[in-house]
Amino acid sequence: MRVLVSALLITCAIQAHGFEQLPSLVKPGFAPSTHELEGGLWMVMANAEEDLQRSPLLIDRPDLNRYLMDIVCRLVESYCGDIRVYVIRTPHFNATMAPNGMMQIWTGLLIRVRNEAQLAAIIGHEIGHYLRRHSLQRYEDLKMKATFSTVIALGLGGAVAAGGVSPDIANLASSVGNFALLASIFSYSRSHESEADKFGIQLLDTAGYDVDQASLVWGQILKEEDSATQKKSSGSLFFSSHPSPSKRLETLASYANDLTEHEQLHEQGATDFAQAINPLLFTVLEDQLNTGDFGRSRFVLEQLQSGEHDQSIVSFFLGELYRSRNEEGDRDRAAAYFRQAISSDSPTPQAYRALGMIELKNKNLDAAKARFREYLSLQPEAKDRKMIEFYLEY
Amino acid sequence: MGPILRSGIIALLLGLAACAPQYAVVENTQQQIGPLGVNPTQQWNEVPKTHSIGRKPTWTVNGVTLDSLTFFVDVKDGEALLSSQGKEDKSYPTYASDMLPHELVEMVEKTFAVELSANISESGELAPVTFGGQPGFEFEFRYITPDELKRRAYVIGAIKNETLNVVVFQAAALHYFDKILPSARSMLRGASVE
């Protein structure tokens, strides 16, 4: 009901400010006939979705999926039965939408958006592709048909050789997994991306989220690119076909300006977002540090410091970042972060171990052993228990 | 079959043979890889450097896509396990002779994650062990490569005179890892280091 009332309010406001609202081109509950071209495409995508459901990189967390589906349903209540969200364990910023309503969100995105409104902006953008039938428009293009057939017949390598898929997209897709294959061939044109941005922000507004957050995402991405140690591999399919982040920032900020003059809720949802991500935070940050990009990892971690995420985990990984870089002064920096991590109400056990290792290297044996004992008391079943006990015999 | 067609087929087969990597059988006698001496207890094949991780000495039983045993020997202070020359987009962690076993574990895992674009899905048991007469470490980890195949790795190593020697056995998790690990581990636990 709230959504309906908001929608009515916003429709008036949008019209008053000249923001031309884009209508959905898909009816709720839509499923094409299997005798039609689109039906065939859906059947192929259904098979791809079954593969995705078996992928070892699929994050199987019902609580997180429920949270993401709640966002989908808040954005497009009448379509929430038509869209499925899958979280994929990949440390890059990306989300994709297939023509049958299968949405992928990569874990790297979850640590780069700062609140629920920013996440909803991305989800709204992907829903925009679905409701504006962008993939079908692409599929109807002759070249796209050829590419699709080639990809299905030969796999990605064959499609690249046949000239159907850009090598940039293919290289990235090959480095992040087969699950990205079908998603990558539905890389949308820039005009589709711009339209999805517009559709996404109007959904954001209708649902009562803070519309300014949509452009802020792209500001953060630009800053991260500036901070990156390895600038050559942006690690995002977004950069392959999407409008540039600076252009998107500008356009989305302009839409937000048009939309913010009417009465709205302007919700950011930082607390709910952090609570939903926290159970996954340790694993996702571990994957981020394993990319070996110091600059990018530091940017992401420092951004998380101002969020409502589990700060013990964030401090622990900032410590890990400096400890593993091991330049002059890094050991002390790392120790300071580890001390922050254990001063929390629910300290990360690994921070005790990390501090113990630093004390051991600094030849403070008693302090080291005390930290190791604290670690083992918090993690009695630790898989490195035998090695920790070996350290205790020093 | 005409002579032209026949000679065409022969040329094609020869061409295909030329493309295939040339594996050499590893003799079941004491093998020396740098300072490391091992006695193979099963049939291994030496992988051509063009098909091994970072051109490091590598053996396999069934082919590198299914299993491999890679020797990182004589690693000196400040060096990485793999060279990043020509791979500017990859940054490998470097070895320091004061590293603790936990840090060596992390270095190996991170090197694999960066080199193979792999997700380390689980770090397994880490325990002290004697390797080549030195106090060393052994551990296991699980990882997923972009082909979405689940893999497991067993790592054993030690530092001697500030130089690191570490060996990684990895294989597809479902069948090959458990099948080959006992023989690989037994051979490596009995290794000598000069």
A177-224: pLDDT as tens digits: 454 555 555 566 778 888 888 899 999 999 999 999 999 998 898 899
| CB of A49 less than 8 A from some CB of B | no
Q: What single letter denotes the amino acid at residue A352?
A: Y
Q: Lowest-pLDDT range, A210-224, A315-329, B30-44, B78-92?
A: B78-92
- Average pLDDT rounded to a whole number, residues A275-290: 95
On whether the CB atoms of residues A313 and A348 are closer than 8 A, the answer is yes
- pLDDT at A47 (0 to 100): 87
CB distance A386–B126 less than 8 Å? yes
Q: pLDDT band for position A155 (50/70/90)?
A: very low
Mean pLDDT of chain A: 82
- Average pLDDT rounded to a whole number, residues A332-350: 97
Distance from C-alpha of A134 to C-alpha of A190, rounded to nearest angstrom: 11
CB distance B150–A56 less than 8 Å? yes
Q: pLDDT band for position A172 (50/70/90)?
A: very low
- pLDDT at B37 (0 to 100): 97
Distance from C-alpha of A220 to C-alpha of B76, rounded to nearest angstrom: 39
With a CB-CB cutoff of 8 Å, which residues 334-393 of chain A face chain B? Answer: 353, 357, 360-361, 383-384, 386-387, 390-391
- Average pLDDT rounded to a whole number, residues A231-235: 52
| CB of B5 less than 8 A from some CB of A | no
- Average pLDDT rounded to a whole number, residues A57-63: 94
Hey, what are A153's tokens? Answer: 């017949």
The torsion region of residue A315 among left (phi > 0), alpha (psi -120 to 50) and beta comes to alpha
Taking the alpha carbons at both ends of chain A, their separation in whole angstroms is 66
- Selection from A365, A374, A322 nearest residue A343 by Cα: A374
Q: Lowest-pLDDT range, A88-97, A362-371, B61-70, B129-138?
A: A88-97
The count of other CB atoms within 10 Å of the CB of residue B54 is: 17
Q: Lowest-pLDDT range, A82-86, A172-176, B32-36?
A: A172-176
With a CB-CB cutoff of 8 Å, which residues 287-326 of chain A face chain B? Answer: 287, 289-294, 324, 326
Q: Lowest-pLDDT range, A72-76, A197-201, A243-247, A281-285?
A: A243-247
Q: Who has greater pLDDT, B73 or A235?
A: B73
- pLDDT at A134 (0 to 100): 81
- Selection from A144, A158, A161 nearest residue A37 by Cα: A144
CB nearest to B128's CB, from A174, A287, A387: A387
Closest CA–CA distance from residue B89 to any residue of chain A (Å): 6
Q: pLDDT band for position A147 (50/70/90)?
A: low
The Cα-based distances of A39 to A42, A43, A44, A49, B73 in angstroms read 5, 6, 9, 15, 57
Q: pLDDT band for position B185 (50/70/90)?
A: very high
The torsion region of residue B176 among left (phi > 0), alpha (psi -120 to 50) and beta comes to alpha
- pLDDT at B99 (0 to 100): 94
The counts of H helices and E strands in chain A are 20, 3
Inter-chain CB pairs, A–B, below 8 Å: 87
pLDDT higher than 80, residue A2: no
| CB of A330 less than 8 A from some CB of B | no
Please list every residue in chain B whose beta carbon sits closer than 8 Å to the beta carbon of residue A178.
Answer: 146-148
Hey, what are A299's tokens? Answer: 């940017």
Distance from C-alpha of B32 to C-alpha of A289, rounded to nearest angstrom: 36
Q: pLDDT band for position B17 (50/70/90)?
A: low
CB distance A177–B146 less than 8 Å? yes
pLDDT higher than 60, residue A166: no
- According to DSSP, the β-strands at A84-88 and A102-106 are parallel
CB nearest to A55's CB, from B128, B137, B148: B148
CB nearest to B91's CB, from A177, A230, A287: A230
The count of other CB atoms within 10 Å of the CB of residue B72 is: 26
Hey, what are B39's tokens? Answer: 């006695």
Of all residues in chain A, what percent carry a pLDDT higher than 70? 77
Sequence length of chain B is 194
Q: What is the DSSP letter of B124?
A: E
pLDDT higher than 50, residue A169: no
DSSP B40-61: -SS-EEEPPGGGSGGG--EEES
Chain A residue closest to B110 (CA)? A290
Question: Phi and psi at residue B67, in whole multiples of 5°?
Answer: -155, 150
On whether the CB atoms of residues A201 and A264 are closer than 8 A, the answer is no
**Strand partners for A365:** none
Q: Is the pTM of this model over 0.95?
A: no
Distance from C-alpha of A177 to C-alpha of A54, rounded to nearest angstrom: 13
Taking the alpha carbons at both ends of chain B, their separation in whole angstroms is 60
Closest CA–CA distance from residue B52 to any residue of chain A (Å): 18
Q: pLDDT band for position A61 (50/70/90)?
A: very high
| CB of B174 less than 8 A from some CB of A | no
Distance from C-alpha of A102 to C-alpha of A45, rounded to nearest angstrom: 8
